[in-house]
Amino acid sequence: MEAGSESPRSIRSYHKGGSGTLTGGGIQKIYSGSNIPNLKEYKRKLDSRLGQCILLCLITLATLLCLYGFIHGAVHDTLYTYVNRTHQIVHELETAVDENFGGVRVQNETAEKEMDTGKKWLTSEELMDYSQLLTKTRSTIWHLFGFNLVLAFILAAVLFLIHFANAEGTYVKFLYRGVLIVCLLFLVAQFLFLLHPCLVAAFTFPSMVDRLFVEAYPRDEYQIRGIEDAFSCQFNPNPHYVEFGLASPCLLKLKNSSLPAYGVVLMMLITLVPFVFAVFTYAWSVCIKDKKVVQNARRRVELNNQRRVPIPNQPPEYSMSSPPQTRKANPEFV
């Protein structure tokens, strides 16, 4: 070593009092981005995710519509027959009264009858509205089921070509986006049809059943006995029999078998899921992912995933030239 030169420091002098292990932050992923969304990136995310979202919604809606269609179908035929038969009776009564007393006398006669007996009478217009509502509801349910099923098959075939058959090209992209647009337009139309007549009918059916069998007249006793035999129930059961499960009220069965309002609301919410997903994807790129709470949560999830990665056990490697040495037995224990 030359004179006048300083002696080099040892590596240990840099780690005074330390354990010798290096500490530091290392490489960390930064969860941040610009507030201006990248439209190409947004389109890429929608192309890769929106199709699966719409497909799941279509399959779910088709399943629910089929289920409610069969459940509602058992009551639909019975109520439709009863409403039409009652409409014929009311129409014949109105025609007979109109021929005998005239149009003005009919209203007065009906009002006097309601005041004297306290009974409310069904009108032909009211029964006609019930009949049309039943027909529209059943037809809408099965038509929506068919459209959901057909679009689900078409979208599934296109997704299979893109993700599994690796079909690429401009025409394939246009076909895929065209199918997505058609599905979204159908979901908008389906939301309107679920709103009317399905949701309106779901809220109308319980009051309609009470109106037909409890509140108003006339009542077709022959049709009522047929309903009791078909559903194994009674319209005026003994309360003690109902309490012990020996009799079942027909009103409760008819209302429970009709289209439920919560089911229609659920299908309407499922119809809106793809639109909410598209808006959420855009909002995520713009502002949500840059929030401090979201960044901390994503960082914690990534750290937990890294800790869960199993470290494979690597057995010791032996070369052919130096075989593994075996431990010799102690002669004292032989």
Q: In whole angstroms, what is the distance from residue 45 CA to residue 291 CA?
A: 20
- For residue 317, being part of any structural domain is answered with no
How wide is the angle at C-alpha 246 spanned by C-alphas 242 and 252, nearest 5°?
45
- For residue 203, being part of any structural domain is answered with yes
Tokens of 145: 């089921």
In a 3-state reduction of DSSP, which class is residue 11?
A: helix
State the residue range of the domain holding 259. 47-287
C-beta of residue 83 within 8 angstroms of C-beta of residue 134? yes
Tokens of 172: 């394939």
**The pLDDT of residue 163:** 83
What is the number of domains present in the chain?
1
- For residue 157, being part of any structural domain is answered with yes
Q: In whole angstroms, what is the distance from residue 265 CA to residue 261 CA?
A: 6
C-beta of residue 101 within 8 angstroms of C-beta of residue 109? yes
Helices (H), 287-316: 292-307
- For residue 301, being part of any structural domain is answered with no
**The pLDDT of residue 301:** 86
**The pLDDT of residue 113:** 47
**The pLDDT of residue 209:** 94
**The pLDDT of residue 307:** 78
**The pLDDT of residue 268:** 97
The model carries a pTM of: 0.75
- For residue 25, being part of any structural domain is answered with no
Nearest one of 61, 59, 58, 54 to 263, comparing CA atoms: 61
Q: How far is CA 140 from CA 66, 134, 283, in A?
A: 12, 10, 35
- For residue 95, being part of any structural domain is answered with yes
C-beta of residue 237 within 8 angstroms of C-beta of residue 248? yes
Nearest one of 54, 67, 61, 52 to 266, comparing CA atoms: 61
- For residue 55, being part of any structural domain is answered with yes
- For residue 36, being part of any structural domain is answered with no
**10-residue block means of pLDDT along the chain (334 residues)?**
50 51 52 61 88 97 95 89 93 75 46 54 93 95 97 95 82 92 98 96 94 92 92 89 87 91 96 96 83 84 78 57 54 46
